[in-house]
Structure 1
Amino acid sequence: MKKRLTPKTIEALPPATGKRYEVHDLLLPGLHVRVSSNGRKVFYVSKRFNGRMKRIKIGAWPILSLHDARDEARRILRDIELGQFDETTSDEKQVVPTFGEVVPQFIELYARPRTKDWKGTERILEKFSRLNTRPIDQVKRADIVRVLDVIVASGAPFRANRALAAVKKLMNWCVDRGMIEMSPVTGLRPPTKEIARDRVLSDDELIACWHAGESEGYPFAQFLWLLILTGQRRGEVSGMRWSELDIEKRLWTLPAKRAKNATSHIVPLASLAISILNSVPRLEGSDLVFTTNGVTPISGFGRFKQRLDEAVGLDAEDWRFHDLRRTMATNMAMMRVQPHIIEAVLNHKTGIVSGVAATYNRHAYLDEKREALGQWAENLIQLPGFHSQGSGAKSMIGTKMSGKLDFVPQRTS
């Protein structure tokens, strides 16, 4: 088969259904791409040498671009014509990238466009830095296992599971790109068996956390309170923008680019949540709600949690910020909120309206979510001990009106 090769042409070449096939370049005679049944695409150049046809391997696409392949093919053809071709060093020689060279390519070409936490993947793969000088096709299963064993021995067995997941994606990507024939970690089981967390904070623990937050002041106090009241993810709350909020309509619209499941999410805000937001100082020129410099969202959650643990007396290993979501969901279930409404509040995929309905109904279950979150806030306020400590909560709570709790917004500069 002959075609004028272009990057799009090569990208579109399907895997061989049986025996591998070749596509010859019309622009540079002798250059061709060989496509195998696993989709691997390799550049070769063919030329008669010393009375016989010689096929010389140039390299695998897309690690080697079409432009580079043509340049290398021209060099080889020129050397043959001039009698300068060294068969002993050029015969089907291919430079194999090292593990350390492949990781940045994987992050840039695969992880970054597809994964919101691509920086986390990059950090995880740094655990395998001892393999950076090893050619990627020489990385063995035992090499990966040794790294995982070190992570487990350091007291982080679940991180070892995350590391294995990341390196599996990397190796599968290398197979797809034709760098290696087979992943060395295919079928390798996670080092540690994980058990789904079921930690739910008790009423006393929840109230203790709330009051412990009062001593923090801005920004961590308000951040913690909204984490408890909205049930959204830590990164979503900490990265909240003023432009996402409609205080008058009491809505927070979380854009798809910031949501973990890449789905836009509307969170109705209870009156207490609005009052908390009204107590937040707004930094001039910054759209961030929780920030100390106006440029980046707050960080240092590990140190913040340590302070909470000390103030409340909780076991640091026994709970996480994510457990606040489960605590809210559990309490909503006890308040007889329908499961699909709870899922919608949490922005779980199972609670999202899909298909055409999702396009035309971005406000799915809005009233039901508003009622559920309002009930959760009212339930929290009525817990014994909520009013007993500090002044932060008291200053934001008004009086009962029409049989329901309402809250008077108060804004501080």
Structure 2
Amino acid sequence: MKSNLTDVSVRALKPPSKGQLTVWDKNSPLGVRISQGGSKTFILMIGRGKRRTLGRFGIVPLSKACEEARRIAAEKTLGITAPTVKTGVLFDAATIAFVKDHYKSAKPRTKHEAHRLLTNKFPLLDTKLLSEITDEDVSSDLKKLAGTPSEQLHAFRVLRVFFKWCMRLPHRYLRHRPLEGYPAPGKDKKGKRILSDDELRKVWHACEGMFGDMVRLLILWGCRNGEIGRLMPTWEESGVMIIPGEFTKNGRAHAIPILPLARVILAARLMRVTIS
């Protein structure tokens, strides 16, 4: 059945007593399917026995439905196929969820470093679906970091943990890990050289200001720079500096006796903080 479809004529169409009724427009490839219940849906015949639904009348305007029907019919005639819609989880979206979940109990610095490596060091993976990532993609990005071996190794390790996380329930983003069997690009290199007494003496005398105080305390106490950088006057108890476990690498409190030379440096440091 064919008719000149207009908003008025479509609205006036009566539902069939049973089944469905289709009315085709005389001026376009568009049709309207009316169900027994009275719902009216725009459709398009795209092949023998093949129909595409374009939307329900009242939600999709007739003019838009006609325009879409003509576009699809034209593309079919010209042999233009619609692009394949890819589904899945993108690498950049998964990394955000990974850092939030996997590092929820980690120190802020550790969490920040993992996020930095995943978001800055793998440009080829950034806009890909996880299911599309190959060993070649990973290898290509890692080779670009060959000039900084330590950074390359850290990036590889974080990415390996990320892919393991992607295979876990309940998300289960992957069923095959791209880095399975992939060798590490290098090994940790531990420094063996230590400063001589003469070199330490030169560093000591070159220290100035607040950062100089930190370096001198590092020399005296052998702590990590993050521990010294966070020193608080309230951590001192009866002549002993107690660094809380939440700020140490092993998670245990670290007690350091405050000897006269360290006391002078701490006093100078406190005075600088007060003045600033």
Give the shorter-chain TM-score range. Answer: 0.5 to 0.7
1:234-277 Cα deviation digits (max 9, x unpaired):
1111121222223xx22111112111122222222222111110
Distance 1:132 1:220 in 2: 38
SS in 2 for 1:128: coil
Q: 2:123 corresponds to which residue?
A: 129
Distance 1:263 1:125 in 2: 30
Q: 2:149 corresponds to which residue?
A: 157
Distance 1:267 1:144 in 2: 45
Structure 2 portions without partners, runs of 5+ = 1-38, 42-51, 53-84
Q: Which runs of 4+ in 1 moved over 3 A?
A: none
Residue of structure 2 aligned with 1:181, choices 166, 175, 180:
175
Deviation at 1:227, TM superposition (A): 0.6
Contact (CA 8 Å) 2:123, 2:141: kept in 1 or not?
A: no
Q: 1:119 corresponds to which residue?
A: 112
Q: Normalising by structure 1, what TM-score?
A: 0.43
Q: Give yes or no for the alignment of 1:225 onto 2:225.
A: no
Distance 2:148 2:272 in 1: 39
Q: 1:194 corresponds to which residue?
A: 188
Q: Normalising by structure 2, what TM-score?
A: 0.63
Deviation at 1:129, TM superposition (A): 3.4
CA RMSD of aligned residues (A): 2.4
1:27-67 Cα deviation digits (max 9, x unpaired):
xxxxxxxxxxxxxxxxxxxxxxxxxxxxxxxxxxxxxxxxx
| Code of the aligned partner of 2:228 | V
Paired residues in the alignment total 190
Q: How does 1:370-389 map to 2 (within 5 A)?
A: none
Larger radius of gyration: 2
Contact (CA 8 Å) 2:130, 2:174: kept in 1 or not?
A: yes
1:324-356 Cα deviation digits (max 9, x unpaired):
xxxxxxxxxxxxxxxxxxxxxxxxxxxxxxxxx
Deviation at 1:114, TM superposition (A): 3.1
Residue of structure 1 aligned with 2:137, choices 120, 132, 143:
143
SS in 2 for 1:200: coil
SS in 1 for 2:245: coil
Structure 1 portions without partners, runs of 5+ = 1-81, 285-291, 294-413
* Identical-residue share of aligned pairs (%): 26
Q: Give yes or no for the alignment of 1:264 onto 2:253.
A: yes
Deviation at 1:95, TM superposition (A): 4.2
Q: Structure 1 residues 130, 176: closer, same or farther in 2, change over 3 A?
A: same
Distance 1:269 1:262 in 2: 21
Whose relative contact order is higher, 1 or 2, with alpha carbons under 8 Å and at least 6 apart?
1
Distance 2:193 2:272 in 1: 35
Distance 2:161 2:154 in 1: 11
SS in 2 for 1:267: strand
SS in 1 for 2:173: coil
Contact (CA 8 Å) 1:97, 1:136: kept in 2 or not?
A: yes
Q: 1:410 corresponds to which residue?
A: none
Residue of structure 1 aligned with 2:204, choices 202, 210, 214:
210
Contact (CA 8 Å) 1:160, 1:190: kept in 2 or not?
A: no
Q: Give yes or no for the alignment of 1:276 onto 2:252.
A: no
